[in-house]
Amino acid sequence: MPIRSVRQAVPQFAGRRNSLQACCWRAQDLRYHMASATTQTTDHFRGEDFATLLDETLGRDSGFDGSVVRGRVVRLTDDYAIVDVGLKSEGRVSLREFAPPGVKPEVQPGDVIELYVERYEDRDGSIVLSREKARREEAWTSLEKAFEANQRVNGTIYGRVKGGFTVDLGGAMAFLPGSQVDIRPVRDVGPLMGVPQPFQILKMDRARGNIVVSRRAVLEETRAEQRSELIQGLTEGMILDGVVKNITDYGAFVDLGGVDGLLHVTDIAWKRINHPSEALQIGQPVRVQVIRFNPDTQRISLGMKQLEADPWENVALKYPPGARFTGRVTNITDYGAFVELEPGVEGLVHVSEMSWTKKNVHPGKIVATSQEVDVMVLDVDSSKRRISLGLKQVQRNPWEQFAEEHKVGSTVEGEIRNITEFGLFIGLSADIDGMVHMSDLSWDEAGEEAMKNYEKGQVVKAKVLDVDVEKERISLGIKQLQEDPAADALASIQKGTIVTCIVTAVQTNGIEVKVDDVLSGFIRRAELARDKAEQRPERFAVGERVDAKVVSVDRTSRKVALTIKGREVEEDKQAINEYGSADSGASLGDILGAAIRRRNTED
């Protein structure tokens, strides 16, 4: 080709430089023809000079790889969209890049779209295009402008990674650190996932493809604006709408629109709530009332139950003492169980009021949570919001029932459940026991000796001696099943009677004696003789018979107190009265001698 022809053709293509899609293939053809012309015009100038001239006119970078172009959809196949981008061949784009999996792509023939050129020509001569990368390039350009202008961008949290979350910023992927999610730590990020919301770009590096965003910065900025506006008009008693932002063990934080308030667990509802999650969920809209507001610390206390009627009004009329009701066990503690009579009204069944017979037992072994129980109202204190309930009062008192069915003196039979140092406990029913004191085991043997004749599990009979309903005690006796062998002796012995007894033991403080072989007696040392010199226990021997005067009789313990000294003094008085006195000239020896002779004569 002549040089003049080339110079005339170059400006024509150069004028179309701004439309590279239309001139690319023509430029390549032109290079081919110019290269041929170079071989024909070597006499005028060398080929490299011609190529330099062409590069100066068209520019060196005439490739399309990595650029974003506009194209028109020509037709659709099963998997691809065929697009004309103004180049010498059409390109194709996978339909999967136009919609998420499972969603029909919203693209039709004739649509004009922007695409990213991945390769200008593959081995088949086709142009490889990408819709997703075009969106990403477009997004990066827009995000860089927002970053430079310090503007917020919209995005969607869609995934969780180590240390934070991934955010889709209109095609560009960004990293959201866990510390930048919210002002306060968020336990459950589920409600924030998939929701479009604003973010602040903290860092961008296009070369590495890194973007770091913050949701917390946006919240803090918005919060500061709304907080000052809201706090200026905030007063106690105001009713506001909010959204549950976070839930803790002691309550829930409610977002009032720029400022958070604490809704304590005790102010959620009138009824007992063990954990706020039983009534609230994160993201739930709620209506609350401002209970307290501290302008200095800007702390806001909220309440929900204050918007409802107080169920404790007129509770004294609804639940009078002595009335029976059915309730549900809501909570069990070491000291009792709480029973809900109606929503918001609970009463306490103290552990002492749970069972007639089960003492020192944990309430959890008597009732269970959510169990329906019948209770009786014992006391109502409306001012303190307290109701005392009784569980055992709705059941019959087993002690009263026993007293009605077994009168004193009746005979019962039961198994020995326990043996203690002071007696036996005999089971009278499934719940109550009766006690046989060791003194009521035998008429003849001592209590300790008599207890050796019994063992646990043995079935015995006993007589009912006493029933004390108030103290919940039943006294039994085994020896009372037989006649008292000392009954006749006790009936014949009175105070002041002179009896003959046998010495059974000699002690330092006196002597033990037996009266009529059935009654036990004791003569103290001072009562052994009238003369102090004779008050010596050792002058008596076991088995010796002595006469003594009865001082007192304990018919319950069957013991007799005796005195020899008293008997001697009484005999002296009688002898003096009968045989004269020392004042009439008779000596005491004469009087006693006469008395003795008279007695011998009578015998």
Quick check: 130 and 66 in contact, CB under 8 A? no
Residue located via tokens 């008429």: 443
Half-sphere exposure of 282 (CA within 13 A, CB side): 11
Q: Where are the alpha helices (DSSP H) in 41-91?
A: 47-58
Helix (H) or strand (E) holding 570: helix 564-579
Half-sphere exposure of 331 (CA within 13 A, CB side): 12
CB atoms within 10 A of CB 326: 11
334-351 pLDDT tens trace: 999 999 998 889 999 999
Residue located via tokens 């409600």: 191
Q: How confident is the model at residue 533 (pLDDT cuts 50, 70, 90)?
A: confident
For residue 427, the Cα-to-chain-centroid distance in whole angstroms is: 39
Q: Where are the alpha helices (DSSP H) in 369-438?
A: 398-405
Question: Is residue 423 over pLDDT 50?
Answer: yes
pLDDT at 586: 52
Residue located via tokens 């403080």: 509
- C-alpha 467/C-alpha 487 separation (Å) is 25
Least reliable range by pLDDT among 41-50, 192-201, 420-429 = 41-50
88-141 pLDDT tens trace: 667 777 776 666 555 666 777 877 766 667 655 555 556 667 566 666 767 777
The DSSP string of 426-466 is EE-SSS-EEEEEGGGS-SSS-HHHHHTT--TT-EEEEEEEE
- C-alpha 380/C-alpha 390 separation (Å) is 12
Question: Is residue 264 over pLDDT 90?
Answer: yes
pLDDT at 112: 74
Half-sphere exposure of 456 (CA within 13 A, CB side): 4
Question: Is residue 16 over pLDDT 70?
Answer: no
For 321-431, list the strands marked E by DSSP.
Answer: 324-333, 336-342, 345-350, 372-381, 386-390, 411-419, 423-427
Sign for the CA dihedral angle at 357, 360, 366, 369 comes to: positive
Nearest to 219 by CA among 164, 270, 263, 259: 259
- C-alpha 314/C-alpha 170 separation (Å) is 61
Taking the alpha carbons at both ends of the chain, their separation in whole angstroms is 188
Q: Where are the alpha helices (DSSP H) in 454-534?
A: 487-492
DSSP-derived 3-state class of residue 419: strand
Structure tokens at 462: 């006993």
Nearest to 269 by CA among 195, 190, 340: 340
pLDDT at 32: 40
Query: Any residues with CB less than 8 A from the CB of 274 and at least 6 apart, and which?
Result: 331
Write the Ramachandran bin of 266: left for phi over 0, alpha for psi from -120 to 50, otherwise beta. alpha
Structure tokens at 450: 């008599």
Residue located via tokens 């590069």: 55
Mean pLDDT within 65-89: 71
Q: What is the CA radius of gyration of the chain?
A: 57
Residue located via tokens 């459950």: 188
Looking at residue 126, what DSSP letter applies? P
Higher pLDDT, 77 or 250: 250
pLDDT at 57: 45
Quick check: 375 and 349 in contact, CB under 8 A? yes
Q: What percent of the chain has pLDDT over 70?
A: 77
Q: Which residues pair with 388 in a beta bridge?
A: 348, 379
Half-sphere exposure of 381 (CA within 13 A, CB side): 7
Query: Any residues with CB less than 8 A from the CB of 544 and at least 6 apart, and which?
Result: 502, 503
197-256 pLDDT tens trace: 999 999 988 778 789 999 998 888 877 777 777 777 788 888 888 999 899 999 999 988
Range from 16-30, 71-85, 118-132, 526-540 that averages highest in pLDDT? 526-540
pLDDT at 125: 55
For 77-223, list the strands marked E by DSSP.
Answer: 80-84, 91-94, 112-119, 127-130, 152-161, 164-169, 172-177, 196-205, 210-214
- C-alpha 109/C-alpha 71 separation (Å) is 11
Looking at residue 538, what DSSP letter applies? G
- C-alpha 388/C-alpha 510 separation (Å) is 60
Q: 393 vs 31, 321, 325, 473, CA distance in Å? A: 111, 12, 12, 18
CB atoms within 10 A of CB 241: 11
Mean pLDDT within 143-160: 88
pLDDT at 93: 72
Half-sphere exposure of 545 (CA within 13 A, CB side): 5
pLDDT at 31: 45
DSSP-derived 3-state class of residue 24: helix
